Copies of this chain bind each other. A is one copy, B any other.
Amino acid sequence: MPDSPLINRLVGALRCLPGVGPKSAQRMALHVLERDREGGRRLGETLVEAVQRIANCERCRDLSEHPLCSRCADRSRDPGQLCVVETPGDVLAIDRGAGYRGYFFVLLGRLSPLDGIGPEHLGLDTLEARLRENEVRELILATGSTVEGQATAHYIAEMAEELDVRVTRIAQGVPLGGELEFVDTPTLAHAFSGRRELG
């Protein structure tokens, strides 16, 4: 352990980053101090600014430095489609690859009664108000395939059906390009029971 209390504090603070254990934290601290002080200063200032200024979009709850995020402010998107995801990272993943041009709604979590996370923590009242605007024709549920993700999707589906909004769920099955022998059993079972007619 470094003898300098300040370096030790830096090593400890770096461990708030995911995947950073004591060894990599020390390597990062020494790297910045020995070789990239300018980068370290910039990272420090940007972090302070980001945690201060970035809040959640008032419409979709995604991370945003403005009251309305740039996706919600983008009028060229299709207001008839709304995709519900768990995290801001999910928004990025879908926007990157899915060719989807509707709007998003970010739950910032998933139903988990054991952890005390109920509908009120996921902004479902906001989502319900959004559906009552009668603009959304299709609500696409893209929560995770975990037990909680499925339960969350189920809960939202019931809410949307009461409001007569069409609900879809992204397809679950074997990944593209995956070798069958490496696919886990529950996924394979699900893909089998969900098989479709060809052509």
Identical copies in the complex: 2
How many chain A residues sit at the interface, stated as a range, is 35 or more
Q: Is A50 positioned at the interface, with any CB of B under 8 Å from its CB?
A: yes
Q: Is A7 positioned at the interface, with any CB of B under 8 Å from its CB?
A: yes
Q: Kindly list chain B residues whose C-beta atoms are within 8 Å of the C-beta of A124.
A: none
A34 touching B47 in the complex, CB below 8 Å, given contacts A42-B16, A92-B26: no
CA distance A32 to B2 in the complex (A): 25
A24 touching B32 in the complex, CB below 8 Å, given contacts A7-B50, A39-B13, A41-B51: no
Nearest residue in B to A96 (C-beta to C-beta)? B1
A13 touching B42 in the complex, CB below 8 Å, given contacts A4-B70, A54-B7, A64-B4: yes
Chain A interface (Cβ < 8 Å from any Cβ of B): 1-7, 9-10, 13-14, 16-19, 24, 26-34, 36-37, 39-54, 63-65, 69-71, 87-89, 92, 96, 108
Verify B6–A65 contact, CB threshold 8 A: yes
Verify B10–A32 contact, CB threshold 8 A: no
Verify A17–B43 contact, CB threshold 8 A: yes
A18 touching B28 in the complex, CB below 8 Å, given contacts A40-B47, A45-B44, A88-B2: yes
CA distance A45 to B13 in the complex (A): 10
Q: Kindly list chain B residues whose C-beta atoms are within 8 Å of the C-beta of A87.
A: 30, 34
A51 touching B40 in the complex, CB below 8 Å, given contacts A34-B108, A65-B6: yes
- Sample 16 A-B pairs with CB under 8 A, ordered by A number: A2-B88, A3-B70, A6-B46, A6-B54, A7-B65, A10-B47, A13-B47, A16-B36, A17-B32, A18-B31, A19-B24, A32-B51, A41-B52, A44-B46, A44-B48, A45-B48
